[in-house]
Amino acid sequence: MPKQNDSGARHPRVPGTGATLEQWLGYLESIHPSEIDLGLDRVLLVLRRLFRRNPSSRIITIGGTNGKGSAVAALEQLLMKAGRSTGAYTSPHLQRYNERVRINGSDVSDDSLVRAFERVEAARGTTTLTYFEFGTLAAFVLFQEAGVEDWVLEVGLGGRLDAVNVLDPALAIITSVDIDHVAFLGNNREVIGFEKAGILRPGINAIYADVDPPASVLQQVSAQKVKLERPGQTYQLVPTEGEPASGFRLCQARHGDEVAIPDTGLPVHSLAAAVVAIRQLEPGLSLSDIETVLAGLTLPGRYEILRSSPQVVADVGHNPHAAAWLANRISRRRNAAGRVIAVYGALSDKDVEGVVGAMRPVVDQWYLAGLEVPRGLGCHDLAARLAGIVADETSPKLLPSVGDALEQVLAVASPDDLVIVFGSFYTVAAAREALGK
């Protein structure tokens, strides 16, 4: 994950022959005056120098506020099950940059990334690129070199002006639209929905995974004559609680059958969107193969069980929409005999008040952990922002780091307690490291 750029570093030195991946990542952090600079002009310019024509591969672009990573992982695995070669690009990473670029399900090597960075550097000339833009183009280089048939691309921020959007998708998925990144995308769902809908193209197939699309998304669908699939309209999700295998059944009238989606801790609407997508892209993939993939699907940092007795679960949810999903899941899955203990660490530009407000009804004890990363909130600053929101009776405890908080929690937690560590990718990365993951 990138650090805050130093605008005073005007002439960073290009890594030389034999430079490591870490050296290159440090260089990427230094060549543009801001960490985020939305717009396609610079990326398009370098893209045209890298490739004479657009890739001939099939491109699937996945945007949305929450649930993108789950949709990418599910569709990637389903495509591979159908015998397709795939490249998947996601962000941010948890512990290694290599997690962002996968070819046929495996993270690419340091050497491959360095080689791709060298190609992008040679092509960009005097054009400045952000850390994300540079990495996005490098992923495109690697997918093109590998000749993979399908590129599954996760939007980094927004959609319309995100670097991923320089390529035209054959199919687009918008997983959800809610409030996040207000400084860049706006402070209401209609404005944000317009940005997310920027990944649509005239006449393509698209899926909106959630049940309540903003009018701005539907307006773009109509204007561009997009063929849209959405739950409650073209397919149905029916709960199967109480049956031998709890989860959902996905029903599509056009197919006259049902797909079982098990409860694996990943957002069901994202998994359903991936199923709807694969049935369009690879209609020959059998129901049994689809269900096998879904049953075995896991994703680090998404309701990830890190240990048991007490159970420790990590989730990267960092906005109120994600926190509401997490709270709902906890309320359904908690052990009635135990407490819910939350370890929360957050970045300063997030709606920490909204996140904690969504989680407060299901949390018995709060541990507020500091994050010593760019934009990270120290535990005292976090507590100050939450004054009056975390009730006095919960006696929130303040710890300088996630590791310190987990150490204290595990010293006092009973086997029946549920420990939920959440709030950011940085929070989850620190928890995984502390517990040897």
Q: Judge whether 105 and 77 are in contact, CB under 8 Å.
A: yes
- The domains spanning 21-295 and 304-434 adopt the same CATH topology: no
For residue range 139-181, list pLDDT tens digits in order.
999 999 999 999 999 999 999 999 999 999 999 999 999 988 7
Q: Judge whether 294 and 279 are in contact, CB under 8 Å.
A: no
* Mean pLDDT (the chain, rounded): 93
Q: Is the pLDDT reported for residue 254 higher than 90?
A: no
Confidence bin at 1 (pLDDT 50/70/90): low
How much of the chain exceeds pLDDT 90, in percent? 82
> 21-295 belongs to which homologous superfamily?
Mur-like, catalytic domain (3.40.1190.10)
Q: Judge whether 271 and 235 are in contact, CB under 8 Å.
A: no
Helix, strand, or coil (residue 366): strand
For residue range 78-94, list pLDDT tens digits in order.
999 999 999 999 999 99
- What are the structure tokens assigned to 23, written together? 């050296």
CATH architecture of 304-434: Alpha-Beta Complex (3.90)
Confidence bin at 382 (pLDDT 50/70/90): very high
Mean local confidence (pLDDT), 412-419: 96
For residue range 8-59, list pLDDT tens digits in order.
445 788 998 899 999 999 999 988 877 778 889 999 999 999 998 889 999 9
**Helix/strand/coil (H, E, C) string of 32-83?**
CCCCCCCCCHHHHHHHHHHCCCCCCCEEEEEECCCCHHHHHHHHHHHHHHCC
> Residue holding tokens 């948890």?
94
Q: pTM value?
A: 0.92
Domain boundaries, the chain: 21-295, 304-434
**Across 311-351, where does the E strand assignment appear?**
311-315, 340-344
Q: What end-to-end distance do the CA atoms of the chain give, in Å?
A: 18
Q: Is the pLDDT reported for residue 75 higher than 90?
A: yes
